[in-house]
Amino acid sequence: MSSKSKKWKQPVSDRFEDVEFNPSGLDLKWSKNLTTTIDAYRIYRCYDLGSIERAIGKGEMPRSFIKQWRMVRSVLHKFAAVTPKIPNIQKMMMRRQILQFSALIMVTIGVPAIVLTFILRLDDIAWFTYPLGFFAGGMFAVTALITAAYNRKIAWTIFHHIEEHPDLLKTEKARLHEWSQKLIRYTGRLIRKEGLDLDKNLLKLYSNDYDGVTFVKEPSRFRKHYVARYNA
């Protein structure tokens, strides 16, 4: 048999109806991470998938999962494509990015200026570098507050859009729920099989409609997710 015939080929179909999701073979770390990621996409909280792509490239994922990843990723990308199309979202994101970039530039210039002035005793320019550094620090702190406000506004805008369009990606949302539920049951079996401490293997979720876990913490002002404990 030639080496070419041995090479695994990616499935042609991208339709999630054609592939049955099966998490078998995933280790504890990735089964938990994938559960959080897939669940987050249900509410259009779209995590960067780069870490999963890198793990696949490094051979950290089982082949059984890699065969399904193209299909899973295509569904997640549908959710990621919705957010930029929501009115005013792009404008708010652009303003947030400009603020963050401006603050970063000021800190990059101001903090080293203070340090060099102090270490090298450059008293002749201290009148300029010290105020600049303190201004940069203050701007960074204010930007953090404004960014948090923007994040909150963006999150609420997305939420209201979802509420106004309940049928948006309805079939895909149901499938994400199914996949997350399978991952929860699979991870719970892994933890019980290996005799691990349930309290040290908590799960971060954004939805609370799953079986197999008990929700021990609810979202708060500073925590946007639930904390769940796998059932014994």
The answer to whether 41 and 176 are in contact (CB under 8 A) is yes
**How far apart (Å, rounded) are the C-alpha atoms in residues 173 and 38?**
10
Span 107-129, mean pLDDT?
A: 78
| Helices (H), ranges, 43-169 | 50-57, 63-82, 89-119, 126-164
Q: Give Cα separations from 193 to 153, 227, 232 (angstroms).
A: 43, 22, 11
In terms of residue numbers, what domain contains 147? 87-164
pLDDT band at 14 (very low <50, low <70, confident <90, very high): low
Q: Are 140 and 92 in the same domain?
A: yes
pLDDT value at position 8?
A: 38
Q: How confident is the model at residue 16 (pLDDT cuts 50, 70, 90)?
A: low
Same domain flag for 174 and 131: no
**φ/ψ of residue 216, rounded to 5:** -100, -20
214 inside domain: yes
Residues 71 and 176 in one domain: yes
- Average pLDDT, stretch 180-189? 96
- The whole-number average pLDDT for the span 57-63 is 91
Q: Is the pLDDT of residue 26 over 90?
A: yes
Mean residue pLDDT of the chain comes to: 86
Query: Confidence class of residue 115 from pLDDT cuts 50, 70 and 90?
Result: confident
* The domain boundary residue, chosen from 133, 164, 195: 164
Query: Is the per-residue pLDDT at 222 higher than 80?
Result: no
Q: Is the pTM of this model over 0.95?
A: no
35 assigned to some structural domain:
yes
Rounded mean pLDDT, 38-61: 92
Does 6 have pLDDT greater than 60? no
Q: Answer whether residue 15 is part of any domain.
A: no
125 and 179 assigned to the same domain:
no
Are residues 154 and 108 part of one domain? yes
pLDDT over 70, % of the chain: 92
In this structure, the answer to whether residues 120 and 152 fall within a common structural domain is yes
Q: How confident is the model at residue 52 (pLDDT cuts 50, 70, 90)?
A: very high
Same domain, 65 and 177: yes
Distances from the Cα of 154 to the Cα of 77, 91, 99, 102, angstroms: 19, 10, 15, 20
Q: Based on the structure, what is the number of domains in the chain? A: 2
Last residue of a domain, one of 164, 182, 209: 164
In a domain, 182, yes or no: yes
CA distance 44 to 78: 10
Does residue 5 lie in a domain region? Answer: no
- d(CA 180, CA 212) in angstroms, rounded, equals 11
**Per-residue confidence at 1, pLDDT binned at 50, 70, 90?**
very low
Asked if the model's pLDDT at residue 164 lies above 60, the reply is yes
How sure is the predictor about 17, in pLDDT bands with cuts at 50, 70 and 90?
Answer: low
Give mean pLDDT, residues 180-198: 95
Question: Residue 21: inside a domain, yes or no?
Answer: no
